Amino acid sequence: MKFKKIILVIIIFLSFLGIGSMLSNVQSREADQLLEAYGLSNNTRYIEIENKQNVRSFLLFLQKKYPRNKIQVHMTCKSKKNQTLVWSNHDVLNLPTESGRYFTKDDFKGRVSFAVLGLNAKVPTYKVQGNEYVYLNKKYYTVVGTLKHYRQMKQDSYYLSTSPKQPTGKLKLRDYQIIIDSSNKVIRQIAKHYGVKAKIPLFVKNHQIHQFSIIREITFIIIFLLIASFSNLVLAFIDWKTVKSTHLKGNLLRNWLINHGIRILLIEVLVTISAYFFLIWRTFLSKPQHLIWLLTGCWIIISVLYSLCILHLSRKDQNNA
């Protein structure tokens, strides 16, 4: 009997993992494909500038022309597809990291360029006295973090901070595809200033098409919840069968059911918490609080069903008596 109950608890745990995974799928898409790319919004557009300016001149223009507008720029190297320069005049989306951290606003202010690596970044790195550095073009870039694995982002990419004062600011603008995240008005003005056309990146088009296509995930969440609910109902039947075999009556029966029911519900609280931490560890979740709400709601539903089932069987037994 105990073996059956353990199997049912494991099924509930796996069902909760399935529910959380479906939420992760939804949030991965709603994160604007993570910039197949790295934290930009649906307003993102890209331009290509062919003049002889360097990155420094472009960023100085943005700072001078739009001091109060939020702008985030990602420059993807045309020759090195796995290299991206990142600049922003505000705090960027804090992407999940395996170790260290992602860029902050302060990283774009100083004279030192920093690096964030994908898990399998194809770039020369060196470790000196516990610190990791990227070595490119006879320059060292301090590695501040390594990104977690999630399928929307290339795992072999690496990202360098840039600003007018940093070494990366000396790179040629024409060697990069410039991705800009800001208001539509600002992007249009920038494109007009440089005499180019702002285009919609493919990852934004894909997100706009699929952002409401969550019927599949909702269906699976319902299926997993039904499996967990059915497992808990079976648990209730097993517990009732056990208590009937003891021939307890009256207060003894009531106390046994209450104590055993509380124990089962506490075990399922532990299962729910374990599922939460496992999902946080292994999946991408842009809003973990949504996972807390979803798993808590599922736990409440299966707990209520367990209690109602025991109550129904108890009253049915009393009526038959």
Taking residues 19-36, what's their average pLDDT?
Answer: 67
Residue 26 and residue 14: Cα distance in Å, rounded? Answer: 19
Residue 80 pLDDT class (50, 70, 90 cuts)? confident
* Residue showing tokens 């070494």: 167
* Residue showing tokens 């029966």: 253
**Which tens digit of pLDDT belongs to each residue from 244-302?**
776 666 677 677 777 877 888 899 999 999 999 999 887 767 678 889 999 999 999 99
Over pLDDT 90: what percentage of the chain?
37
**Which tens digit of pLDDT belongs to each residue from 92-145?**
877 778 888 989 889 998 899 999 998 788 888 888 887 899 988 888 899 999
Residue 43 pLDDT class (50, 70, 90 cuts)? confident
* Count of Cβ atoms closer than 10 Å to residue 225 Cβ: 19
- For the chain, what are the domain ranges? 2-30+212-320, 37-200
* Count of Cβ atoms closer than 10 Å to residue 205 Cβ: 12
| Beta-carbon contacts of residue 158 (< 8 Å; ≥ 6 apart) | 82, 83, 84, 115, 116, 117, 118, 121, 122, 123, 134
**Which tens digit of pLDDT belongs to each residue from 157-180?**
889 999 999 999 999 999 999 989
pTM over 0.85: no
